[in-house]
Structure 1
Amino acid sequence: MDSTSEISRYHLLKDSLKILDVKHNKSFHDTTENKFLFFPSNGTFRISSLNRNEHGNYTLQTFDSDGRKSDEWTFKLIFQAPVSSVLLLSECLSQGEMRVSCSSQGGDSPQYSWTLDGRTLTDAELLSGNNKSNNIILKQHVSGHLVCSVRNHVNSVSKEQRICTCGFIFINCTLSDGTHITKWVLATKNTLCIKPTMGPIKVSDTPLDNSLLLCGLRAVMGILLLIGIFIYFAWKKKKTLKAEVSAVPQTMDYPDNSVLMVEMRSSTSCNV
């Protein structure tokens, strides 16, 4: 108020309950024992020893000298404790959806908002809930950095969580009996719409296979060569030993009246 000269009377109400009735600057009704004070000289309203019970709508009504209402002002008094830490929980549902809940520890009148990878969540990503609810259900394909922000008129805090899909895949195929299937299924338990196994790949299909074949052939040839060398030297050694044994004289025992004969063998044939 800039001037109070024309104000003959005013009422102060809290949620439609009259708490002050002042006429010509004299109080006729005061239910608060000076807890609520209004100073017409400068338009100041003061509440002493403020507590949560004082929240609500306050209305100032002014009247002229004839008792007619001349004006009215209303303001709302709100108490809010600051928002503290935020708890973010997620769980997979039976069809691969993900339920995510966001809650604040303390704080009055919290307001929620969600972002995914730095942008607002869209309806295409939400199966249930909206960007202003504290519980949402994400569709099966959604993944990324999810952030829940909680705020009120005092402060704001946020919590981030990296979410991944629940392991479901979307299948879309027609079975041999003509049945068309389109649904989300758990990838590890999928027995539908399985693609036929590929046939054997020829060695010459890729450069890598050709090089592996060449290396294998070289290895086999090397092994065969080593085996051949081993067999050759073993055969040569056996032949040498046989020749040495053949050169040793052999004797035969006969009766006393017999003739002792000695047989000699060498590389050249000769008779003795």
Structure 2
Amino acid sequence: MEAVVGLLLMLLGVSHGVETYCDGRQNGTQCYGALGGTVVLQLMDNASEISRYQCNGTFRINNLSWTDGGEYKLVIFGSDGQVSEQRTLQLAIQGVETYCDGRQDGAQCYGALGGTVVLQLMDNASGIFRYTWSRTTTKIVSGRKNMIMFNEIENRSFFTPSDGTFRINNPSWTDGGEYKLEIFDSDGKISEQRTLQLTIQAPVSSVLLVSECLSQGEMRVSCSSEGGDSPQYSWTLDGRTLTDAELFSGNTETNSITLKQKVSGRLVCSVRNQVSNVSEEKTISTCGFIHINCTLTNGTHISKWVFAANNTLCQPTTTPTSTVGKTTGITVSINPCTKTHPPIKI
């Protein structure tokens, strides 16, 4: 029976971040996707028999955002227009989770914007008489032993006294700053205090490599990233760091490099910051240039890179001469890319 499909999943983009897969062929499936990444949803076994689709039954959503989360419904109609099958799936978008040990005074911690940050504030709070954790003059958490007395951001955070960790979900820029932990004894006096600095960064979501050939056969390659605060770049060729002999200009810590004429292979650009690391690869070949180095018969010396397909310089020549009496004279010119040779008489 001929069928058509109605499918309300229409956000498409370009991303090379984290990719997840979910089998959504069962009704009510729970699926997960990474913020800024890609999710591949298996919606059916095969859509080739459905007139409007020619595919393997999967649907890919790139560059996921929070608004992509929610309930989706697949509806398949028969040729008579009646619903022959329908099912739903729930898609949840998850951010990057980072961990930081804040048990040392002055610890520097990082959290991903929109993700989750887990801060280790102490070993165990169950034996502590009273404690508070504050940012500047604002008290965030206070408790006694295993009892949480106050949590300013309880709608998106959770403190676990048994292991001393504090989890903040969906951190924003305003969550960054200096925090102070104060531990009090039974007399109400401070027995210990320490600070940590929390910095919130937007994670790198995707990387794009673009290459172009220059006039002398060099190749300029640019690495652009989407999202990401304070990005740091690194390059490899065939799994190893690029050498100075392969770089015409730039270095492996910049977002744009120029490669020498003979360089080819699998080029990878990695972009990272304190909360993410994303890479993109591209197989590159030379721009088709060759290096010529010769002296022409008129004495002109040529040494340069030229496009091989259009090269007319430094070509070997053979010039026949006329027959005089019983002697045949042939002048042989050796390849002018090396040297000339005096005529040989036969």
Computing the radius of gyration from Cα coordinates, the structure with the larger value is 1
